[in-house]
Structure 1
């Protein structure tokens, strides 16, 4: 992967402010509001646009990485990264706790949301890095745990002519008290390989 530049937490602006935000050394501790989520229409019939995303402009081509500790087990608790153009054009990728296990996946929203996931029970209690690389009309999403190799999560379409902001996010659709420890937020050049 290309050389990444660590971003200060102060570089971003919250889409929806969390319940609490605390800097702990280099880490950022974020407490999510109960009921916070990001989703549009598909299957569930609702629109939620109040996930806590800390975003700054991301050039295209360009890449963003977010690292966090996977230390939660509440239904639909989630954290990762977001690329957002507007309320109807965005991508979130990371780990969500669902059906009794951590699931690595992505939601791509172009008017309506979709969702792809894969169980990663061995990631519980470990450090996760999610990476999204945007070039042309494609976003390549990869993730890894600790220092293991990145694995491909998703190759998704995003309109090439829209400007996006990107950065870490979390939300807690079903419960209060989710606290996510974000370890790192970095940006840099887009990947040279799609997968």
Structure 2
């Protein structure tokens, strides 16, 4: 795994990835305010661009500033990516998805009960990305979003991994942990 925008403070002991996010970091493109930010933290593996896969992770954070976020990311380049996970808005955790295609981001959130752990499961088959979340260690997965994501040539790389950021102007970063990060390649649609 390698970093895009490596944070100043982080560790990986093969079972838990710990990060303290740098301030004023984010992934966002244009929509609403014209902002283009591509300086969030992304720790990833590269897969063939046309690969079907299942990615999972458990996220636990000490969210304290508006828009503190952590979760999974799929990325072709700065204009085509998906991030999903926890986003902290107005003092509360939300399950969040941002889909960015052709340089434009959209954002959707689902209210959750601020669990200690949010489990994420992302399945990609062809152009479809199926995003699910579960609240708490024993929570059951619920569908959050089915999104279009471009299929690229098998010779190109699709980056898949964990992401986190602290966009808010007054943020000093926060501590977030990622456990049980896993990617199952050649995942087939009849398996879900």
TM-score over 0.5 for the pair: yes
Confirm or deny: 8 A CA contact 1:140 1:194 kept in the other structure: no
Matched position secondary structure for 2:99: strand
Matches within 5 A, 1:1-195: 12-23=1-12, 26-59=15-48, 60-110=51-101, 111-120=103-112, 122-124=113-115, 126-145=116-135, 146-161=137-152, 163-174=157-168, 175-189=171-185, 190=187, 192=189
Closer/same/farther in 2, CA of residues 188 and 194 from structure 1, 3 Å limit: closer
| Larger deviation, residues 75-84 vs 175-184 | 175-184
In 2: Cα distance, 1:44 partner to 1:66 partner: 31
Q: Per-residue CA shift, 1:119-161, capped at 9, x if unaligned? A: 11x234x111111111111000011122211111110001122
In 1: Cα distance, 2:43 partner to 2:12 partner: 14
Closer/same/farther in 2, CA of residues 31 and 70 from structure 1, 3 Å limit: closer
Confirm or deny: 8 A CA contact 1:40 1:113 kept in the other structure: yes
In 2: Cα distance, 1:20 partner to 1:108 partner: 27
Confirm or deny: 8 A CA contact 2:122 2:129 kept in the other structure: yes
Q: Number of paired residues?
A: 182
Unaligned residue ranges in structure 1 (runs of 5+): 1-11
Unaligned residue ranges in structure 2 (runs of 5+): none
Q: Give the C-alpha shift of residue 24 in structure 1.
A: 5.8
RMSD: 1.9
In 2: Cα distance, 1:116 partner to 1:191 partner: 26
